[in-house]
Every structure is written in structure tokens, then in C-alpha cells.
């Protein structure tokens, strides 16, 4: 199974509706769910200047943040770009399930499918960009 960082990255890049549906199906297996944090906020977006290597902040970005505790005491956490609190809550629930060892096989299958779809989309985009490349030596 992938690291927690990879898991959360994959889930935050997955279609929100798919993640929400998957989390809804997990809820009966989680036991009592305590929502500890479910809010929107602003965070500073860091950037490193490619010419000089200087770090600075481009500005603020709106995020939704969720933290949950499930029946077994496991906690899950998520931060997503935008204001979709249901998306961040769904990801936090899935994270908590992973931490508690609940439905691990189903979660792994779902995450692997999402990661494969994201890789395929990235490869398609790279092929489309490559098709527009101009070789200046041929002019």
C-alpha cells in the first residue's frame, strides 16, 4: 500500500463525486464518527523563484480542512483546494479507515484505480503537449 502522503494526494486529485460516494459506502463500517474539524480557510501558497531560488508567497489559497475520529480511535485528516467541505470530510473518513485497518482491500483497489486514471490523464496531456512542440532547427 502507498504512503499516507501518496494516498491523500491521490484522493485530493480524484473526482470529488467518486470520493464522496466511496466514503458514503464506508460509513456503516466506521462506527461512531466524531467530526473534530470541518472548515474552510486561507493558507499561504509558497513558491520558489526558479532563477534565484528565493522562496516567497504568491498569495492566499482557499482550502477546506477536515479532521475526524472514528470508533476505534483512529483519526483521519484532509485539506483540499476550494470550499468543498464534503470532499475534505470524505477524504478524512477514508484516511481514518486506512489508519484503523478498515476495508483496506477495497480502499486500496479504489486508490489504485484513481491513481491509474490520474496517470493516464497525465500521459494524455503530455502527448497532447508534445504534439504541439516546434523544432526550431527545421525552420
Mean pLDDT of the chain: 92
pTM score, two decimals? 0.86
Phi, psi dihedral angles at 74 (to 5 degrees)? -75, 145
C-alpha cell at 68: 475526524
Domain that holds residue 83: 4-138
Mean pLDDT calculated for residue range 114-124: 93
Q: Would you say residue 130 has pLDDT above 80?
A: yes
Residue among 47, 82, 53 nearest 65 (CA): 82
State how far the Cα of 77 lies from the Cα of 112, in Å rounded to an integer: 20
Domain count, the chain: 1
Asked whether the beta carbons of 95 and 78 are under 8 A apart, the reply is yes
Q: What pLDDT is recorded for position 38?
A: 97
Indicate the pLDDT class of residue 1, thresholds 50, 70 and 90.
Answer: low
Mean pLDDT calculated for residue range 91-111: 95
Indicate the pLDDT class of residue 136, thresholds 50, 70 and 90.
Answer: confident
Those residues with Cβ within 8 angstroms of residue 131's Cβ, 6 or more apart along the chain or in another chain: none
Q: Would you say residue 138 has pLDDT above 70?
A: no
Amino acid at each position: 500500500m502507498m504512503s499516507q502522503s501518496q494516498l491523500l494526494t491521490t484522493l485530493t486529485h480524484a473526482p470529488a463525486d467518486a470520493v464522496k460516494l466511496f466514503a458514503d459506502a464506508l460509513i456503516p463500517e466506521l462506527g461512531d464518527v466524531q467530526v473534530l474539524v470541518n472548515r474552510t480557510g486561507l493558507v499561504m501558497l509558497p513558491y520558489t523563484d526558479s532563477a534565484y531560488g528565493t522562496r516567497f508567497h504568491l498569495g492566499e489559497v482557499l482550502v477546506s480542512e477536515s479532521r475526524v475520529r472514528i470508533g476505534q480511535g483512529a483519526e483521519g485528516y484532509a485539506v483540499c483546494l476550494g470550499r468543498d467541505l464534503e470532499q475534505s470530510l470524505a477524504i478524512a473518513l477514508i484516511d481514518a479507515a486506512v489508519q484503523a485497518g478498515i476495508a483496506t482491500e477495497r480502499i486500496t483497489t479504489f486508490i489504485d484505480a484513481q491513481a491509474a486514471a490520474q496517470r493516464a490523464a497525465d500521459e494524455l496531456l503530455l502527448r497532447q503537449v508534445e504534439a504541439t512542440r516546434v523544432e526550431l532547427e527545421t525552420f
